[in-house]
Amino acid sequence: MFAVHLLSYYFSKLQEDPTKKVDRFLYSMRLHDDQLRDISARFLGEMKKGLSVESNAAATVKMLPTHVRSTPDGSENGEFLALDLGGSRFKVLQVKVREEAGRRRRGVDMEEQTYPIPKELLIGRGAELFDHVSECLKDFLHQKNISLEKKHPLGFTFSFPCQQTAVDQGVLLNWSKNYRARGLQGKDVVQALRQAINRTGGMDVEVLALVNDTVGTMMTCSFDDQRCEVGLIIGTGTNACYMEELRHIDLVEGDEGRMCVSTEWGAFGDDGALKDYITEFDREIDAASANPGKQLFEKLVSGLYMGELVRLVVLKMTKLGLLFDGNVSKALRTKGKITTTHVAAMEKYKDGLRNTREILLDLGLTPSHDDCVAVQHVSTVVSFRSSNLVAAGLAAILTRVRQNRKLKTLRITVGVDGTVYRTHPQYAKRLHKVVRCLVPDCHVRFVLSESGSSKGAAMVTAVAQRLASQRQQVGETLSLFSLTQEQLGLVKARMRAGLEAGLKNNGPSPIKMLPSYVYRTPDGTEHGKYLALDLGGTNFRVLLVKIRSGLRRSVRLYNKIYAIPLEIMQGTGEELFDHIVQCISEFLDYMGMKNARLPLGFTFSFPCNQTAIDTGTLVSWTKGFKATDCEGHDVVNMLRDAIKRRNEFDLDIVAVVNDTVGTMMSCAYEDPQCEIGLIAGTGSNVCYMEEMRNIEKVGRDGKGMMCINTEWGGLGEDGCLDDIITPYDTAVDRESLNHGKQRFEKLTSGLYLGEVVRQVLLNLTRRGLLFRGHVTEALKTPGIFHTKYLSHIESDHLALLQVRTILQNLGLDSTCDDSIIVKEVCGAVSRRAAQLCGAGMAAVVDKIRDNRGLDHLDITVGVDGTLYKLHPHFSSVLQETVKMLAPQCHVTFVLSEEGSGKGAALITAVARQEEADM
């Protein structure tokens, strides 16, 4: 009874507009924007499942890594062969890629030939199919007079789902598109092709890359548009690929850079995710297919099924009496009689109705005008649904790319291929419109692949060849910074010899080993108010330090920081010290203590010869200071003279100390085992408590200990480090203010590491390995690459997009690949610096252990400096190196929280106590 009512309802509508009649009948195929957003969100969720190692096995959208890590950058060059296998015919091509040179524009020249594949090979043995492919390849080489002796790199477009573990390896997961060749599923198709080429013989072909047609399309289009990072196929089959952040691809090791992922979205919905959008016609298509329950999304949208969907709808409407007066022809009942080509013809703008009438007549039907309008509209609804669903999937991909890169808006290009997109008169326009509606925050350009996916296979091969060559050359460059354990052992031995030589009276030594006249570390009884000055870089600090002893033992600091302009740093000594005294005056005014004559400790972070704790003759400036009439003069006297010139206040200058000694004393106040100080910041230095008997400069008969300021940055001034110094270090030294001096410091300190990196980047760019060979003015500017950028760039939590932002702020327009290389350069330079500091520290702790005749030494190192504090890996690499080179020493590293200013006050307090005890 219900069927009768339903039929009468439909017959009552026969006189209505035929398009409305179709719309009413196919209401479930007409998807509105909210439904499309829902589908897009579902697909986004499926993508995440496919990328996760925990859920990939159960995911229907497999998100297969392709191991294509880069799109073309324009520097690709050479001749390549390409095979394109994926339909009833396949193509062999020779692709010549020209890089841009001078006035010659880059481009691609191609010769190709299409070969048929007999149907029996599609369902025969896989080896026979590949033998046929190989024989056709050899025939192509003969026909095009291409040398058989020369080695030819080849890219293989294989348009079937493969699990890849490398760009030249791929295990076939399953056949599609009427292919059923036996013995290949679960096997490496690249290996199968290589074996077939060997069986054919007589040619030297190296298969370098395996790609599917979607990846090939993206690579083809990205050669001409470097924003192209998405590939889309809408033809006999359908698929999409895009450049995913490597850190999100659990199936591939590593987290730097990007990799193209083939979504294999044809299987979307196989797990029921689209069940509420599946119509009775879709279920009928699926049931009659060669793979029921599989590739459901593909069956909704691809050209292989679109025509059949239209046939089933028209057949059902005819049976219900809604078309052709209910007369069903034999042809209309026959599967495959309406093709996707027919669908495209019926929707043509001007000739669509005429084409529809001719197609229906060929099917043995007698259509009225309204019948033709209705069938044409059925085609429109089916193809419109296809473009809507593809738009929803593409919107999910674009949303993911935008979110990955943390962008408010994304500008990107989608490379497209496939007969449906190419030949259907309305499909592309509808797709573009819906995508832009669904993702208004993405500015999307669609580019039709003119050369198909075959050119893309050659481009993948060219990129793979470029990356391999680039990787080798960059690796060779960075290998200069890689130090073996044996080399580090030699640095340790040379440092130890330098320490010993510097303690002796006779002859100059690159390591100065300057006595500090600090005889002990704090014991907790220190107390009082002290003024401290801290000069060691572009900033100058004045501190008031209040020390309490006893049960309420504490140290409280009040300080202000003042800048030292470059013209003062490199002006006259008198101007420098007048500036320092002016800053002290401002501080005393600020604290309301100008009338108090406080004891003062002066942290002066430059090499000084001391004959007492309150004298210090400057040996040489470092860290960019170049003030005249200072070297060879007592800096304490220069400070006293400046105070007299100002004539506003008086101070009792008790001690002049190096920042390294101040750091040791500051940490020793908290940890009595702290007997070493390390500075790893703008400069690099170490001090330690040496036995008085070993310090010839102050007499070998002395008892007890004294802190020695090693000034180890001078190691190498005698050429003992020449075997590890690179050409980049030499360039940095040559451009420095103190050429030939402080060689160890120039390998290890923050003042120079950024410049070493810049020299490497400049060299790599001039060789065409970075920034597309474009040497900017910024890159040629000394000092522009600050060491702080190393810390930022090497941060484990910093995405490559942020690395690119740092580089762009320096005027360097980088690709993702450039960012990876820059990060590697920073890592190589900073790791070497940390290892060298570790080797030096190993020499110091082993010397202390030997001094004391111990089998095992427990000791603490107080550390300060931005490089040690802020660089993400410097401290751990340094500590690992010490542990490796000094296994008999257990070394604890403690950060100095208050810096060397607190240490200067403590030294002053200790000195005051010793004076009182005498």
- Let me know if 354 is a catalytic residue: no
Give the amino acid at 119. K
Give the amino acid at 120. E
- Let me know if 634 is a catalytic residue: no
Reading the block at residue 347, the tokens are 């929707």
Burial letters 792-812, b for 16+ CB under 10 A, else e: bbbbeebbbebbbebbeebeb
- Let me know if 509 is a catalytic residue: no
- Give the list of residues 6+ apart from residue 850 with CB closer than 8 angstroms, or none: none
CB 905 within 8 A of CB 666: no
- What is the maximum span of the chain, computed from C-alpha positions, in angstroms? 125
What CA–CA distance (Å, rounded) separates 906 from 918? 18
Catalytic residue among 605, 666, 749, 896: 605
Give the amino acid at 243. M
Query: Is residue 810 within a helix (H) or strand (E), and if so which, with residue range?
Result: none
Helices then strands, counting H and E runs in the chain, come out as: 30, 26
The runs of H, that is alpha helices, within 85-238 are 119-122, 126-143, 189-200, 213-224
CB 210 within 8 A of CB 194: no
- Give the list of residues 6+ apart from residue 206 with CB closer than 8 angstroms, or none: 151, 152, 153, 154
Cα dihedral across residues 909, 515, 841, 660: positive or negative: positive
Q: Exposed, middle or buried: residue 58 (CB in 10 Å: 0-12, 13-18, 19+)? A: exposed
CB 499 within 8 A of CB 513: yes
What CA–CA distance (Å, rounded) separates 402 from 441? 9
If DSSP codes are grouped into helix, strand and coil, which group holds residue 177?
Answer: coil
Which 8-state DSSP code applies to residue 227? Answer: T
The runs of H, that is alpha helices, within 852-917 are 866-870, 874-885, 899-917
What CA–CA distance (Å, rounded) separates 347 from 383? 9
Closest residue by Cα to residue 818 from 73, 263, 298, 32: 73
N residues, the chain: 918
- Give the list of residues 6+ apart from residue 269 with CB closer than 8 angstroms, or none: 60, 275, 277, 278, 296, 297, 300
Catalytic residue among 541, 758, 831, 912: 541
Catalytic residue among 659, 733, 817, 864: 659
Cα dihedral across residues 264, 269, 274, 277: positive or negative: positive
By annotation, the residues acting in catalysis are: 541, 605, 659
